[in-house]
């Protein structure tokens, strides 16, 4: 006796079809699973057997072979359990095979026969729709996530018994309807820039960063508010588009960090990995890879606090996601890809003691100590950071100033206008931001007024700037001019942009 039922497995961020074939032959009772299963899949045998018995169903005492196809793909996890149980029942002719045409089944079985959710349901459901299934049977607890996919009928089951009754027609179940959760971009009661007193220069720089999508490095003594500022970055970035929302939700679903029944994520992520993080933790890893912090930050902000404390190798692996906006992880049998388009906000003290260059406390470090500390950031990473922002301590006057500071909403309106100008400038690009300009672009789109040209020339010679620093200054000046709606870059724009290269000057002097 033979049956074939379809399930789905995660493959990076994608749901791919796995055909579960069941063959039941006479012979000594046995249950074997083939088709590159890992241990977690092999353990399905015990769960399926126990769940069926506890659901009052007969587990056949014959030779059962389950084949998971395609065979070349490694299978992990418990998501095939329900499919295996239903496959056995179809092979036994207890469920009509026709009921499972065009239907995919995903769910883990508990020993008592209840059906449990599996991670990555949104991706699995998208995969089901893409591969032409009209119906997906899942655990009730993952039903809301699956139902986010339009044009796919989702049937939620609490238990194996319920699934069997549904498929034998004795228990009608209605397709799940999404309980639309209101967009949460308003951030009622959330963090806001208005809570940050003073610091006008720092706020201005972060507005530029948000406008042109420029990565930033905050440099300042302890307690100057670097962490506080970084946390509020997502509040001045535009709301996620529907497509971004879907992608962000998929990543978090696959990583297993999505709360139950939250629906689509509407807020831009803010991730703060600790400096002791491993390479795998940052970019993703595992036998069957899962997304790392750079992907969990996709669509939002990756905040690396105390940047020089991160291991060199960790900072090295940041290069690919920063350059390609995605991570590729190779395994012998397949290559996995996760998106990782994030805004990098890094923070550091200016020296080991933290007070170099501040008028608050004297710095106790020796010049070689300071040089060694700052040189940990050499090369490729620094090359990807357009803005270096000095963050001094807030002044007493600013703390006691009764005038309320500007809210994130007000700043966001300016950011949105500047982003619109960029979208009009690069109409065919999916990510039309000044930070993404190539050297060819900067030649085309960064026309300088004569005075601006003269100033840049002078600064270049005087400060000993590199060609890379020159490119960064042009991009940032472009964004500053956009914030003023100026087609040509003026002297003031260049002058401001030069201020955001403090570290080059320190490192190169």
The entry of ligand ATP, Mg ion, Zn ion, none that residue 353 binds, CB within 5 to 8 Å by partner kind:
Zn ion
Reply yes or no: is the peptide bond before residue 160 cis, omega within 30 of 0: no
- List the beta bridge partners of residue 137: 105, 155
The reply on whether position 166 binds Zn ion by CB under 5 A is: no
Cα–Cα distances in angstroms (integers) from residue 408 to residues 176, 202, 240, 402, in the given order? 37, 14, 16, 18
Angle between helices 491-499 and 450-463 (to 10 degrees): 30
The reply on whether position 19 binds Mg ion by CB under 5 A is: no
Phi then psi for residue 108, to 5 deg, are -95, 145
Q: Which stretch binds ligand ATP (CB under 6 A): 66-74, 138-146, 191-199, 366-374?
A: 191-199
Q: How far is the CB of 108 from ligand ATP (least distance, A)?
A: 42
The site string for ligand ATP over 205-224 (x = CB under 6 A, - otherwise) reads ---------------x-xxx
The reply on whether position 365 binds Zn ion by CB under 5 A is: yes
How far is it, in rounded angstroms, from Cα 276 to Cα 134? Answer: 46
Structure tokens at 137: 């049977």
CA 312 to chain centre: 23
Structure tokens at 465: 């700037």
The reply on whether position 80 binds Zn ion by CB under 5 A is: no
Q: Which stretch binds Mg ion (CB under 5 A): 151-159, 223-231, 276-284, 443-451?
A: 223-231
The reply on whether position 272 binds Mg ion by CB under 5 A is: no
The entry of ligand ATP, Zn ion, Mg ion, none that residue 222 binds, CB within 5 to 8 Å by partner kind:
ligand ATP
Q: Interaction with Zn ion in 344-363: which residues (CB under 5 A)?
A: 351, 353, 356, 363
Q: How far is the CB of 235 from ligand ATP (least distance, A)?
A: 15
Phi then psi for residue 104, to 5 deg, are -115, 150
The reply on whether position 199 binds ligand ATP by CB under 6 A is: yes
The entry of ligand ATP, Mg ion, Zn ion, none that residue 278 binds, CB within 5 to 8 Å by partner kind:
none
The reply on whether position 297 binds Zn ion by CB under 5 A is: no
Q: What is the DSSP string of 175-200?
A: PP---PPPP-TT-TT---GGGS-S-H
Determine the number of helices (DSSP H) and then strands (DSSP E) in the chain.
Answer: 22, 18
How far is it, in rounded angstroms, from Cα 104 to Cα 133? Answer: 7
The site string for ligand ATP over 354-393 (x = CB under 6 A, - otherwise) reads ----------------------------------------
* 140/217 with CB nearer ligand ATP: 217
The entry of Zn ion, Mg ion, ligand ATP, none that residue 365 binds, CB within 5 to 8 Å by partner kind:
Zn ion
Residues 6 or more apart whose CB falls under 8 angstroms from that of 445 comprise 425, 437, 478
Q: How far is the CB of 368 from ligand ATP (least distance, A)?
A: 22
Q: How far is the CB of 295 from Mg ion (least distance, A)?
A: 24
Residue of 445, 408, 438 lying closest to 424 (CA atoms): 445
Q: Interaction with ligand ATP in 223-282: which residues (CB under 6 A)?
A: 223-228
How far is it, in rounded angstroms, from Cα 498 to Cα 277? Answer: 33
Task: Tell me the residue nearest to Mg ion as measured from the CB.
Answer: 227
Question: What 3-state DSSP class applies to 485?
Answer: coil
Q: How far is the CB of 316 from Mg ion (least distance, A)?
A: 24
The reply on whether position 200 binds ligand ATP by CB under 6 A is: no
The reply on whether position 227 binds Mg ion by CB under 5 A is: yes
CB atoms closer than 10 angstroms to residue 482: 23
Question: What 3-state DSSP class applies to 388?
Answer: strand
Structure tokens at 140: 């009730």
How many residues comprise the chain? 509
Residues 6 or more apart whose CB falls under 8 angstroms from that of 199 comprise 225, 229, 391, 392, 394, 398
Task: Tell me the residue nearest to ligand ATP as measured from the CB.
Answer: 225
Q: How far is the CB of 382 from Mg ion (least distance, A)?
A: 20
* 2/360 with CB nearer Zn ion: 360
The reply on whether position 408 binds ligand ATP by CB under 6 A is: no
Q: How far is the CB of 412 from Mg ion (least distance, A)?
A: 24
* 134/275 with CB nearer ligand ATP: 275
Q: What is the DSSP string of 263-321?
A: -S--SPPEE---TT--HHHHHEETTTTEE-HHHHTTTSEEEESSGGGS-HHHHHHTHHH
115 in Cβ contact with 107 (< 8 Å): yes
Q: Interaction with Zn ion in 180-199: which residues (CB under 5 A)?
A: none
Structure tokens at 112: 């008592």
The entry of Zn ion, Mg ion, ligand ATP, none that residue 1 binds, CB within 5 to 8 Å by partner kind:
none
The entry of ligand ATP, Mg ion, Zn ion, none that residue 356 binds, CB within 5 to 8 Å by partner kind:
Zn ion
* 197/506 with CB nearer Zn ion: 506
How far is it, in rounded angstroms, from Cα 122 to Cα 245? Answer: 12
The entry of Mg ion, ligand ATP, Zn ion, none that residue 228 binds, CB within 5 to 8 Å by partner kind:
ligand ATP
Q: How far is the CB of 435 from ligand ATP (least distance, A)?
A: 24
448 in Cβ contact with 480 (< 8 Å): no
Q: Which stretch binds Mg ion (CB under 5 A): 219-227, 318-326, 417-425, 451-459?
A: 219-227
237 in Cβ contact with 268 (< 8 Å): yes
Which residues would be at the binding site for ligand ATP (CB under 6 A)? 196-199, 220, 222-228, 349, 394
Which residues would be at the binding site for Mg ion (CB under 5 A)? 227
Which residues would be at the binding site for Zn ion (CB under 5 A)? 351, 353, 356, 363, 365
């Amino acid at each position: 006796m033979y049956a074939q039922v379809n399930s789905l497995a995660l493959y990076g961020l994608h749901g791919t079809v796995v055909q579960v074939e069941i063959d039941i032959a006479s012979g000594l009772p046995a249950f074997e699973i083939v088709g590159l299963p890992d241990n977690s899949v092999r353990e399905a045998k015990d769960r399926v057997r126990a769940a069926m018995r506890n659901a009052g169903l007969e587990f056949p005492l014959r030779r059962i072979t389950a084949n998971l196809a395609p065979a070349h793909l490694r299978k992990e996890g418990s998501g095939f359990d329900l499919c295996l149980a239903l496959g056995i029942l179809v092979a036994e002719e207890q469920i009509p095979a026709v009921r499972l045409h065009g239907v995919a089944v995903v769910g883990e079985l508990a020993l008592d026969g209840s059906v449990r959710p599996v991670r990555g349901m949104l991706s699995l459901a998208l995969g089901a729709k893409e591969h032409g299934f009209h119906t997906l049977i899942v655990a009730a607890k993952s039903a809301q996530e699956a139902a986010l996919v339009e044009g796919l009928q989702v049937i939620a089951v609490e238990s194996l018994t319920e699934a069997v009754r549904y498929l034998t027609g004795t228990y009608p179940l209605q397709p799940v309807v999404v309980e639309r959760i209101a967009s949460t971009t308003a951030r009622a009661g959330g963090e806001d820039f208005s809570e940050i007193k003073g610091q006008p220069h720092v706020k201005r720089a972060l507005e530029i960063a948000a406008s042109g999508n420029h990565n930033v490095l905050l440099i300042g003594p302890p307690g100057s508010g670097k962490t506080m500022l970084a946390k509020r970055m997502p509040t001045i970035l535009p709301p996620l588009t529907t497509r971004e929302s879907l992608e962000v939700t998929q990543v978090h679903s696959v990583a297993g960090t999505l709360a139950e029944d939250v629906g689509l994520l509407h807020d831009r992520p803010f991730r703060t990995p600790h400096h002791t993080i491993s390479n795998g933790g940052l970019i993703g890893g595992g036998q069957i890879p899962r997304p790392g912090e750079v992907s969990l930050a996709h669509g939002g902000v990756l905040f690396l606090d105390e940047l020089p404390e991160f291991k060199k190798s960790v900072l090295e692996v940041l290069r690919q996601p920063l350059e390609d906006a995605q991570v590729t992880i190779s395994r012998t049998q397949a290559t996995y890809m996760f998106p990782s388009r994030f805004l990098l906000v890094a923070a550091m003290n200016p020296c080991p003691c933290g007070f170099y260059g501040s008028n608050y406390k004297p710095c106790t470090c020796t010049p070689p100590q300071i040089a060694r500390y700052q040189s940990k950031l050499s090369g490729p990473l620094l090359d990807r950071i357009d803005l270096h922002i000095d963050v001094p301590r807030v002044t007493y006057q600013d703390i006691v100033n009764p005038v309320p500071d500007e809210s994130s909403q007000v700043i966001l309106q300016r950011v949105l206008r500047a982003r619109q100008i960029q979208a009009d400038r690069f109409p065919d690009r999916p990510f039309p931001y000044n930070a993404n300009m190539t050297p060819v672009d900067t030649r085309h789109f960064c026309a300088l007024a004569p005075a601006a040209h003269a100033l840049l020339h002078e600064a270049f010679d005087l400060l000993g700037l590199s060609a890379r620093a020159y490119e960064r200054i042009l991009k940032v000046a472009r964004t500053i001019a956009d914030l003023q709606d100026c087609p040509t870059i003026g002297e003031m724009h260049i002058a401001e942009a030069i201020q955001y290269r403090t570290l080059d000057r320190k490192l190169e002097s």
